Amino acid sequence: MIRPSLPFALVLSLASCVAAPTLVPLGTNASTSPTQTIYRQSFVGRYSPSPICAGQELQVELAPESVYVGETGCNIARVERTSNGVALSLTACRAEGAAQPDRTLSVTEAGDGALRIEGGGVASTVQPCFD
């Protein structure tokens, strides 16, 4: 004979085997933090001092996993939120094939789609490229 509490215990033990999914904020995925999402949605793109990037000495490309400032390319190790933008910790930097020191790049909103880029020897206001 089955005791009345046994079916209840069986249901509880089976229910504990099914874990609820981990909820992630909208606009992110399980491996992307909210700060990384802000960076990707608000800052990723190509920039230069002029909206026509062709021929500009300073060109900045902010990609989801890397940053190129002029001839120097770096991997993004960490993204931190600042008051008006993000601070990117850049590692494994290379310029013309030669290793370069790690650096931090500050990217802040400058109004009308422009960004202020500071760090790694660069301090400039840049605009989105339209070419």
pTM exceeds 0.75 for this model: no
What's the mean pLDDT in 54-65? Answer: 92
Q: Please check the confidence at residue 29 and state whether its pLDDT lies above 70.
A: no
Q: Look at residue 48 and tell me if it is in a domain.
A: yes
What's the mean pLDDT in 87-111? Answer: 94
Q: What is the domain count for the chain?
A: 1
Structure-model confidence comparison of residues 90 and 26, the more confident one: 90
Q: Look at residue 17 and tell me if it is in a domain.
A: no
With contact defined as beta carbons under 8 Å apart, do 105 and 58 qualify?
no
Q: Please check the confidence at residue 92 and state whether its pLDDT lies above 60.
A: yes
Q: Please check the confidence at residue 56 and state whether its pLDDT lies above 70.
A: yes
Q: Look at residue 105 and tell me if it is in a domain.
A: yes
Rounded to whole angstroms, how far apart are CA atoms 50 and 27?
30
What's the mean pLDDT in 100-105? Answer: 96
Q: Look at residue 88 and tell me if it is in a domain.
A: yes
CA R_g for the chain: 23
Q: Look at residue 63 and tell me if it is in a domain.
A: yes
Q: In sequence order, which ranges of 18-129 are alpha helices (DSSP H)?
A: 34-42
Q: Look at residue 91 and tell me if it is in a domain.
A: yes
Structure-model confidence comparison of residues 111 and 36, the more confident one: 111
